[in-house]
Chain A
Amino acid sequence: MVTTTKQNSSIGSKIINFFKSVFGSYGSVLIAIIALSIVWSFASPYFLTIANIKNIGVYMSAAGIIAAGITVSMLLGGLDLSQMAIMALSGIVVGVAFKAGVTGPILLVIAIGVGLLSGVINGAIMNYLHLSPIITTLGTSLIFRSIAYIVSQGNMTVVKDDFLVWIGRGKILGIPVTLCFMVVVYIIVGIVLKYTQFGRNVISVGGNAEASYLSGINVKKTRAIAFMVSGSCAGLSTLLFISQGYVAMPNAGSGADLDAIASVIIGGLSVGGGRGSIIGTFLGMLFFSLLANGMSLLSMNSYAQLAVKGSLLIIAVYIDILRRSKK
């Protein structure tokens, strides 16, 4: 009896500690999310409807999965700029495969596979030509995008497959499938970063690549795998985008990656690497999605929305710097 209560209280205190630490690290984002929700719920009667909340979830999912990939590459200290091009390329390949008669979950495998392969190419260039991640992925993003345009000849491809319809419109226990995908990706990335050697290596290399190397960590392998993860996320994300409109486009993803990068930074990830977590990314993503959703509900000019997002990014990072310098 005594032991049970003890265990209960320890689990209870563990949960409380978890929320305490989340609040300690992400207090300002959480407050911003709550404040934004309150403002939007007064401003628009539709904001707090179940339909709208599902909307936000679906909107978050595709960009959210890119953000998960960015979290891994940025923690390592190398921003992956090629993600949107990987999205375009992998979407076009999915389109070609669909035209050739491929259907069902194999399309999912193809989308992720193309992303993974692109990540392998990024990693190989960095490791063997000794180029920085930003230069490498800037170069490959042009190449991937170019291939996507050449293969598609600039046209979009209709991909209306039952499996994709299920992803785009289906529900598991009342939750949109798209959102389920995102949640699963976040849980996996979260566990990998915290509980595996690879995850710890990513954070160590991001913190100090030289010290990690001198401690016997295989820096090249870590970097290659991180970019494979990032590419795979882009591939999966493509499929979620396609499942919303049933078309694959060679210019897909434009802008989505900037939203994703902005969310990751708002979530507290250090641009230099080595600091941040998937929880921060999730909160940053949630904040950005709420912001976009509310502005659309209020029929704000979509061009003006960009400026609002940009300003908030600058303000958020500034507040973060102030908070840190006080410590």
Chain B
Amino acid sequence: MSYQILLEMKNITKRFPGVVALDSVNLVVSRGEVLTVVGENGAGKSTLIKIMSGAYQQDEGSIFFNGKDVGKMTPRKSIDLGIATIYQELSNVKGMSVAENIFLGVQHKKNGFIDYKKLYAESMDIQQKVGLEYLRPETLLFELSTAEQQLIEIGRAYSRNLNIIIMDEPTSALNNIETEKLFTLIRKMKTEGKAIIFISHKLDEVFSIGDRVQVLRNGESVYTSLIKSAKRDEIINSICGRELKEMYPVSKRDIGDIVFEIKNLNTDYLQNININVREKEIVGLYGLMGSGCSDIVECAFGTGVYETGDFYVNGSKVEIHAPKDARSAGIAYTPADRQEKALLITHSVKNNLTLVTLRQFIKGLFINLRKERETASEWVSRYNIKIKTLNEPVITVSGGNQQKIVLARWLASNPKIFLLNDPTKGIDVGAKVEIYKSIEDLCNLGCGVIYVAAELPELLGIADRVYVIHEGAMAGEYAGDEITQKNIVTSAIGEKNYGNNN
């Protein structure tokens, strides 16, 4: 295949007050090529994308499009050159239809009125290109899954003149099947001669979809290679900038007695779920998206509605109908959506740390602010949380440290059970390792952990036992050497009969 270079960025430097976000970075992408860009959070990936899309302008360096120097990019220029960006935060209007979202800002008018017939017909053309031909163009967007909404955005890019499509961690909210569908679309785009820039945290994806990989670290480009000749270890080492001996530094523990049991849990979706966790044990819960794993932990924390179900802590039955019941029973919970459901995002690190256990600092009627502050700063150093001050709003803290704050806030309540719902979502590789270490620390304190994982390799790496859920029912239970990708996946897609497995 002969590559025709489409976009070339040379010696791009971008400074923000106090930091060099990009330090003479070079990037080249050709027609029909998928360039994967990886790096930790803060490595400069977002800044680089924003310079391509014209949201930021570089301080130094030049951008060539089809060999011509285009100077500094502006959003308008970028669209005109056919560069489209699909951000993690989708930019669509939920109350508008599929067609209107695809043609957002473009109006099909006839005699001053909108020509819906034409709009819907053209929408259908685009929908076919992105594999959404089964949707009616007038369907409102909030009826669509996240994956479908993402395809609508790609459709919008298609509706314009499209040369380069930049995708910022497009699979972070997709399940395996949806991811595969997206990859099929990307492969089709390659054959159409589009250039694709694919940002990801997941190395498996880099190897399955990429033609080339480029690693950014601290604003510098530290590694580029064709996928054919790239080595996984080299990529990981370039991302971290250090030898990463083990991705999953979780060692064997002496597992104790059963500390928590869920018996006969039935909801309008879940069927007769039975789960137990032992002291110091990490129990994984795995299923495809929509399998009901999250529902199980939500019920156990008192936020889900269940028809029948009993919960036992240390052998005695507990009533759980609201989070405060769960908290008094010694159950801690970290929701999957950290920013939406766990953090007071504009509030200080300190207030976020003491949200659960504020009552410990109350003497009489009043909060002992000094004790609160001292304890909070003790937690910060004990859990190695990297922040500037306790007063900084938590929104300015990195994802990994935000997650540590959420974990740390529960520890002071002396929980016996930790329910973790996808705690490493959107966290870079280095920080993930630290989260795994924190989870091991939880176990060593005597907690039992239920870990709902979105990514299977995590469970292979850290779980002592794994339950697999398929469409609301128990589909498998594996321990020790049985925890293999093959076992778990066959159960997760419903290919194995759980009864026979026992």
Q: Which residues of A contact B (CB under 8 A)?
A: 191, 194-197, 200, 203-204, 207-208, 210-218, 274-275
Cβ-defined contact, B301 with A207, below 8 A: no
The docked-state distance in angstroms from the alpha carbon of A191 to that of B367 is: 10
Cβ-defined contact, A274 with B356, below 8 A: no
Q: Which residues of B contact A (CB under 8 A)?
A: 301, 303, 323-324, 326-327, 333, 335, 340-347, 351, 355-356, 358-359, 362, 365-367, 369, 409
Cβ-defined contact, B366 with A195, below 8 A: yes
Cβ-defined contact, B343 with A200, below 8 A: no
Cβ-defined contact, B365 with A216, below 8 A: no
Cβ-defined contact, A211 with B344, below 8 A: yes
Cβ-defined contact, A211 with B341, below 8 A: yes
Known: A200-B351, A200-B358, A204-B355. A214 touches B365 (CB 8 A): no
Q: Report which of B341, B347, B359, B369 forms a contact with A203, defined as CB distance below 8 A.
A: B347
Chain B residues with Cβ under 8 A from A212's Cβ?
Answer: 344, 355
Q: How far is the CB of B360 from chain A (nearest CB, A)?
A: 11
Q: Can you sample 9 A-B contacts with CB below 8 Å?
A: A200-B351, A204-B344, A208-B340, A211-B341, A211-B342, A211-B355, A216-B327, A217-B355, A274-B344
The docked-state distance in angstroms from the alpha carbon of A191 to that of B364 is: 14
The docked-state distance in angstroms from the alpha carbon of A210 to that of B344 is: 9
Cβ-defined contact, A207 with B345, below 8 A: yes
The docked-state distance in angstroms from the alpha carbon of A218 to that of B323 is: 9
Cβ-defined contact, B346 with A274, below 8 A: yes
Cβ-defined contact, B342 with A200, below 8 A: no
Cβ-defined contact, B340 with A210, below 8 A: yes
The docked-state distance in angstroms from the alpha carbon of A140 to that of B340 is: 31
Chain B residues with Cβ under 8 A from A217's Cβ?
Answer: 324, 355
Interface residues of A: mostly helix, strand, loop or mixed?
helix
Closest to A201 in B: B358
Q: Report which of B347, B366, B367 forms a contact with A274, defined as CB distance below 8 A.
A: B347
Cβ-defined contact, B327 with A210, below 8 A: no
The docked-state distance in angstroms from the alpha carbon of A65 to that of B351 is: 28
Q: Report which of A196, A197, A214 forms a contact with B323, defined as CB distance below 8 A.
A: A214
Cβ-defined contact, A200 with B323, below 8 A: no
Cβ-defined contact, A204 with B351, below 8 A: yes
Q: Report which of A200, A207, A208, A211 forms a contact with B367, defined as CB distance below 8 A.
A: A200
Closest to B326 in A: A216
The docked-state distance in angstroms from the alpha carbon of A216 to that of B323 is: 5
Residue among B343, B346, B355 with max Cβ neighbours from chain A (10 Å): B355
- Kindly list 17 other residue pairs between chains A and B, CB separation below 8 angstroms, not including A207-B347, A215-B323: A194-B367, A197-B359, A197-B362, A200-B351, A200-B367, A204-B351, A207-B344, A208-B340, A208-B344, A210-B340, A211-B343, A212-B344, A213-B323, A214-B333, A216-B324, A216-B326, A217-B324
Chain A residues with Cβ under 8 A from B324's Cβ?
Answer: 216-218
Chain B residues with Cβ under 8 A from A195's Cβ?
Answer: 365-367, 369
Q: How far is the CB of B450 from chain A (nearest CB, A)?
A: 16
The docked-state distance in angstroms from the alpha carbon of A45 to that of B7 is: 71
Chain A residues with Cβ under 8 A from B326's Cβ?
Answer: 216
Q: How far is the CB of B87 from chain A (nearest CB, A)?
A: 20
Chain A residues with Cβ under 8 A from B369's Cβ?
Answer: 194-195
Cβ-defined contact, B356 with A207, below 8 A: no
Residue among A191, A214, A216, A275 with max Cβ neighbours from chain B (10 Å): A216
The docked-state distance in angstroms from the alpha carbon of A213 to that of B344 is: 12
Closest to B340 in A: A210
Q: How far is the CB of A65 from chain B (nearest CB, A)?
A: 22
Chain A residues with Cβ under 8 A from B303's Cβ?
Answer: 213-214
The docked-state distance in angstroms from the alpha carbon of A215 to that of B366 is: 20
Closest to B341 in A: A210
Cβ-defined contact, B343 with A208, below 8 A: yes
Chain B residues with Cβ under 8 A from A200's Cβ?
Answer: 351, 358, 367
Chain A residues with Cβ under 8 A from B342's Cβ?
Answer: 211, 214
The docked-state distance in angstroms from the alpha carbon of A191 to that of B323 is: 28
The docked-state distance in angstroms from the alpha carbon of A295 to that of B202 is: 65
Nearest first, the 7 A-B pairs at minimum CB distance are A207-B344, A216-B327, A195-B366, A216-B324, A215-B355, A215-B356, A208-B344
Known: A211-B355, A214-B303, A215-B409. A197 touches B343 (CB 8 A): no
The docked-state distance in angstroms from the alpha carbon of A47 to that of B356 is: 50
The docked-state distance in angstroms from the alpha carbon of A195 to that of B344 is: 19
Chain B residues with Cβ under 8 A from A194's Cβ?
Answer: 367, 369
Q: Report which of B301, B351, B367 forms a contact with A214, defined as CB distance below 8 A.
A: B301
Chain A residues with Cβ under 8 A from B362's Cβ?
Answer: 196-197
Cβ-defined contact, B409 with A196, below 8 A: no
Closest to A199 in B: B367
Q: How far is the CB of A11 from chain B (nearest CB, A)?
A: 15
Q: How far is the CB of A72 from chain B (nearest CB, A)?
A: 17
Chain A residues with Cβ under 8 A from B327's Cβ?
Answer: 215-216
The docked-state distance in angstroms from the alpha carbon of A197 to that of B362 is: 8
The docked-state distance in angstroms from the alpha carbon of A204 to that of B345 is: 10
Cβ-defined contact, B347 with A196, below 8 A: no
Chain B residues with Cβ under 8 A from A275's Cβ?
Answer: 346
The docked-state distance in angstroms from the alpha carbon of A233 to that of B351 is: 27
The docked-state distance in angstroms from the alpha carbon of A205 to that of B78 is: 42
Q: How far is the CB of A156 from chain B (nearest CB, A)?
A: 41
Q: How far is the CB of A3 from chain B (nearest CB, A)?
A: 19
Chain A residues with Cβ under 8 A from B356's Cβ?
Answer: 215-216
Q: How far is the CB of A129 from chain B (nearest CB, A)?
A: 19
Cβ-defined contact, A208 with B345, below 8 A: yes
Closest to B354 in A: A200
The docked-state distance in angstroms from the alpha carbon of A215 to that of B409 is: 9
Chain B residues with Cβ under 8 A from A204's Cβ?
Answer: 344, 347, 351, 355
Closest to B362 in A: A197
Closest to A206 in B: B344
Closest to B337 in A: A210
The docked-state distance in angstroms from the alpha carbon of A277 to that of B362 is: 21
Chain A residues with Cβ under 8 A from B333's Cβ?
Answer: 214
The docked-state distance in angstroms from the alpha carbon of A11 to that of B359 is: 28
Cβ-defined contact, B346 with A214, below 8 A: no
Cβ-defined contact, A214 with B344, below 8 A: no
Q: How far is the CB of A74 from chain B (nearest CB, A)?
A: 15
Cβ-defined contact, B345 with A197, below 8 A: no
The docked-state distance in angstroms from the alpha carbon of A275 to that of B347 is: 8
Chain B residues with Cβ under 8 A from A207's Cβ?
Answer: 344-347
